[in-house]
């Protein structure tokens, strides 16, 4: 069976990673699954343990680090910890499912180091004013947290060159469609097809 693709979506807070990811997952007919990270931050209204995140205590997070349960983990925004659980991602890829990771820039590059065939997309906002508007309209963070996240945005975007693709999330449907096309195109690279072609070459006529 063909292994799935690791699909990384990064970008500044409020750019639309969650929105785009949800659409990609819903449109995948079960072919793509979301890698639910562990975090020490508190749930936002409407967030469900095990769906958006595994909301864990500092102690539990540290235990997971000690037991080597993360592919990568990171302190983001100097406050909360976030980590990608290894077991689920590996299981799903081996089952042939594509796995979507919504993780920050440092985490994304750590994953790319270990898994160079992963496909990484940087989502960018159409403008900084629009990024602020989205964060403020979402209304899930206090103003100081919003300001801190906006201050991070330029640093994050400046690392665009480390990504495979950049998608501007202006019109939502266009951004979703571009991500879908990138995913499909990534399955036609020699790197991704090498196992199949090697087996093909070994076949008898």
List interacting residues with ligand ADP (CB under 6 A): 11, 13-19, 134, 137-138, 169, 172, 175
Cβ–Cβ under 8 Å, residues 104 and 76: yes
Q: Whole-number minimum distance, CB 165 to ligand 5GP, in Å?
A: 16
Distance in Å, CB of 125 to ligand ADP, minimum: 9
Nearest residue by C-beta to ligand 5GP?
107
**Phi, psi torsion values for 96, nearest 5 degrees:** 90, 10
* Residue 115 near residue 35, CB atoms below 8 Å: no
User: Smallest distance from the beta carbon of 30 to ligand 5GP, in angstroms?
Assistant: 22
What is the sign, positive or negative, of the torsion defined by CA atoms of 89, 173, 107, 165? positive
Binding partner of 4, given ligand 5GP, ligand ADP, none, CB within 5-8 angstroms per partner class: none
What is the spatial distance between Cα 186 and Cα 183, in angstroms, rounded to a whole number? Answer: 5
Q: Least Å distance between CB 150 and ligand 5GP?
A: 13
Cα-based distances in Å from 155 to 125, 150, 188: 14, 10, 32
Q: Which is nearer to ligand 5GP, 3 or 138 (CB)?
A: 138
Largest CA distance in the chain: 67
When binding is defined by CB under 6 A, the residue of 8, 61, 102, 135 that contacts ligand 5GP is: 102
92 binds ligand 5GP (CB under 6 A): no
């Amino acid at each position: 069976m063909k292994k799935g693709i690791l699909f990384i979506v990064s970008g500044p807070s409020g750019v639309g990673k969650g929105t785009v990811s949800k659409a990609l997952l819903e449109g995948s007919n079960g072919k793509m699954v979301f890698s639910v990270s562990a975090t020490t931050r508190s749930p936002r209204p409407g967030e469900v343990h095990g769906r958006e995140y595994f909301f864990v205590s500092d102690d539990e997070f540290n235990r997971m680090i000690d037991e080597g349960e993360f592919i990568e983990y990171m302190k983001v925004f100097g406050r909360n910890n976030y980590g990608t659980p290894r077991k689920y991602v590996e299981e799903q890829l081996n089952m042939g499912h594509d796995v979507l990771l919504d993780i920050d820039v440092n985490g994304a590059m750590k994953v790319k180091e270990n898994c160079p065939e992963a496909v990484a997309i940087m989502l960018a906002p159409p403008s900084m004013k629009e990024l602020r508007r989205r964060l403020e309209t979402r209304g899930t963070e206090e103003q100081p947290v919003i300001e801190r996240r906006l201050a991070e945005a330029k640093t994050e975007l400046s690392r665009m060159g480390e990504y495979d693709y950049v998608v501007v999330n202006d019109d939502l449907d266009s951004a979703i469609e571009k991500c879908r096309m990138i995913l499909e195109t990534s399955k036609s690279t020699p790197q991704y097809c090498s196992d199949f072609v090697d087996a093909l070459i070994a076949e008898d006529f």
